Amino acid sequence: MIPIEYWLIFSSLLLAIGIYGVMTRRNAIVVLMSIEIMLNAANINLVAFSSYYSSLHPDLGTDATGQAFALFSIAIAAAEVAVGLAILLSVYRRYQTIDVDKINILRW
């Protein structure tokens, strides 16, 4: 069984990649993709801790609560991507661009 630390390092790396993408990329689609990567980092954590909890308490049997939450999370992420892409589509129709540096009219 892979120790919990490996999973945590892996998910931290995924999160860092996601953050880096969100903060640096100009294309809104890529920003959206990076957000998906960050979400998956969180899902991995949920699954990893679920498995770790069961291994700490063998007498309780397999507890799949964390894994079920991860499934919920994936479903919600799918819905979120649909909404996000729809927004980006209408932004593009209005401004003919999806460069996040240019979409900054919501300000002082």
Partner 1 sequence: MDVLQYAWLIPVFPFIAFMLISLMPKRTLGWEDGWGYAIAGAGGALVLSFLVIWEVVNGNTLTLDAPRTTWLIIGSYEVTFGIWIDALAALMLLVVSVVGTLVVVYSGGYMHEEGETRRRYYAEIMLFISVMYGLVIADNYIQMFIFWELVGLCSYLLIGFWYQKPSAASAAKRAFIVTRVGDIMFMAGIIILFKYVGNLDFARLFEDGATSTVPGDMMILATALIFGGAIGKSAQFPLHEWLPDAMEGPTTVSALIHAATMVKAGVYLVARTYPLLVQTPESLLFVAVIGGVTALIAATCALAADDIKRVLAYSTISQLGYMILGLGAGGYLVIHSLDPNGYTAATFHLMNHAFFKALLFLCAGSVIHAVGTNDMRLMGGLRKHMKITSTTMLIGALAIAGIPPLSGFWSKDEVLAAVYHAGDLDPTFLLLWVLGIATAFMTAFYMFRMWFMTFAGEARSDYHAHESPKIMTIPLILLAGLAITSGFALFAGDGFKALMEGPIEDLPDVGPIVSGHESASDIAVEIFTDPLTYVSLVLAVVGILLAYRIYYLPGFDRSVFARGITGKFQRALENRWYISKFYDDFAYKVWYGFSLVCDAFDRRVIDGAVNGFSYLGANTGGVLRKAQSGNVQRYASLIIVGIVVLLALLLFVVPWGGW
What is the phi/psi pair of residue 27, to 5°? -75, 125
Measured between alpha carbons, how far is 6 from 37 in angstroms, rounded to an integer?
A: 18
Stretch that binds partner 1, among 23-31, 50-58, 59-67, 73-81 (CB under 8 A): 23-31
106 binding partner 1? (CB under 8 A): yes
19 binding partner 1? (CB under 8 A): yes
Residue of 22, 30, 33, 91 that binds partner 1 (CB under 8 A): 22
90 binding partner 1? (CB under 8 A): no
Site track for partner 1 across 26-65, x = CB under 8 A = -----x----------------------------------
User: 3-class secondary structure for 51-108?
Assistant: HHHHHHCHHHCCCCHHHHHHHHHHHHHHHHHHHHHHHHHHHHHHHCCCECCCCCCCCC
Closest CA to 22 of 32, 11, 13, 14: 32
Per CB under 8 A, residues contacting partner 1 are 19, 22-24, 31, 100-101, 103-108
